[in-house]
Structures are given as C-alpha cells and as structure tokens.
Amino acid sequence: MPELPEVETTRLGLLPRLQGRALRRIVVRNPRLRWPVPDDLEARLAGLTLNSLARRGKYLLFDFGPVTQIVHLGMSGSLRFAAPGEPAALHDHVDWLFDDGTTLRLRDPRRFGAVLWTDDVARHPLLAHLGPEPLTPAFDAATLHAQCQRRSAAIKQVIMDAQVVVGVGNIYASESLFHAGIRPTTAARRLSRPACARLAAAIKQVLTAAIAAGGSSLRDYVASDGELGYFQLQTRVYDRAGLPCKTCATPVRRIVQGQRASFYCPTCQR
C-alpha cells in the first residue's frame, strides 16, 4: 500500500508539470473505486487552473481554487504521466487532460483508491480527524507522549493510528521502533518522555530517508515517472526475519500484530 513517503514522492513528481496548468477534461472509465467517482467531477473541475498540490496524510489534495480534488491511492494505485496517444490499460480508470497536452492517469488494479472533490478541506470527513503531520513541528515528543499516556495498546499499533500521527505505515513503524530501541509490543502508556522523544525523532528520520529514496516499491507502487522506490533495500529489520541484525547480529524476529507483520531485534529493542 502506498504510504506517506510514496504519496509524497508522487506529489513531488507531479507538482512541477501540473502547477499552473488548466484542466481541460476528465475521462472516467470506471467510477467504481472505494467510493464512486462523483458524476459531477468534470463539471466541477474542468476549466480550472491547478494552484498547488498538497498532501494530508496519504491523501493528495489538488487545489483548483474553489474546489479541491482529493485522491487516495488505496492499496495498489499510482498516478503516472501517460505518453501522447498511449492507450489506456485494463486498470487505468481515470485520466486528467491538461491544456498543454499532459495526461495524468490513475491506475488502480484493486480499486481501493478514491477520486473525490470538496469545497471545504478542513471539514471533509476523510480529513477532519487526522492527526499531525510527522515531518512538521506539530509532531514532537510532547505530542506523542500525551497520546501514549491515554493508550494501553502496543506502541506499534498506536503510531500507525492516523488520529495519533498520519502516514506511519507498517514498514516505517517497524523501522522507526528499531531506530528508537523500542519493542513493537511495548504498551504505549509505559513509554517515558525520553523514549517518546527518541521515537518521534526516529519517525522523522525514517520517513525523510524513505522520501529521499523514492519510497518503497513493494507489489504495485511506482512513482509518477514509472521508477521504483528503493527504501526497502535500506531497512534494518523489516522483512528480515531470521537474518542477523545489522547492528548486533542477533537474528531478527517476526511477530504478527493486528494482522500485520512486525519485525524487531530482541537485543537492540527492549
């Protein structure tokens, strides 16, 4: 599933080519995504100029002035630039045609993504209750510690909760906990303020590195130019069960939490 680094990589790839361009047409081949593509999407957006492209958690926000388009990539979606005259493939569900001839194309084999619009981003139900962005000053040791004090769940599940902090997916949660020296099974309310400071810093470090690496290409994800991300080649514990820890050589362990695989070093993480 594309997580924050993959979505941010997509945003950075799209912005230079689309900012300031007027949208000419929208072609919807299959409206049956996670939520149906609104029938009036083209009527709302056609003719408007894209002012900016932002990201909130894993949602891309296309600012067309009076209307903002919300795009979520779901489990397997990607946004790519189609070559002139390139025919749509089976899972290419939506095209955006801009005034300079650029075509942006949504490919989503599993159809768990979303293409919606809103005239009030702050109050939209998908966005209104999201937690702070991890790479901003709004997310720090104090914020994380306050959230942890109210929760008895395992810390890995807490930092993957989008109401606590957005965008920390499974890979990045495992890696952040390794860098912070915290086991994924530790009850959140047991974490001290210094431990939360280490973890908040580790989350920022890991996500920043993942964005620089173009995200992690597992299964379907590619960037807007079709290139693969390679952060998965840098992981210290994720998907390395039984292999020696890169720090201490202890075999990495794999457990299941909330139906998701967690990886940790029993020596480095306590």
The C-alpha atoms of residue 78 and residue 222 are separated, in whole angstroms, by 7
Whether residue 190 lies in the annotated active site: no
From 3, 6, 8, 175, the catalytic residue: 3
Q: What is the CA radius of gyration of the chain?
A: 20
The b/e string for 10-47 (b: 16+ C-beta within 10 A; e otherwise) is: bbebbeeebeebebbebebeeeebbeebeeebbebbee
Exposed, middle or buried, 101 (CB in 10 Å: 0-12/13-18/19+)? exposed
Say which residue the tokens 């530790």 belong to.
186
Whether residue 2 lies in the annotated active site: yes
From 5, 6, 56, 58, the catalytic residue: 58
Q: Specify the 3-state DSSP secondary structure of 79.
A: strand
Whether residue 25 lies in the annotated active site: no
Whether residue 260 lies in the annotated active site: yes
The C-alpha atoms of residue 25 and residue 45 are separated, in whole angstroms, by 8
Q: Which secondary structure element, helix H or strand E, spans residue 143, and what is its range?
A: helix 141-149
Residue 55 · residue 79 · CB < 8 Å: no
Residue 251 · residue 244 · CB < 8 Å: yes
From 21, 34, 204, 260, the catalytic residue: 260
- The residues carrying an active-site annotation are 2-3, 58, 260
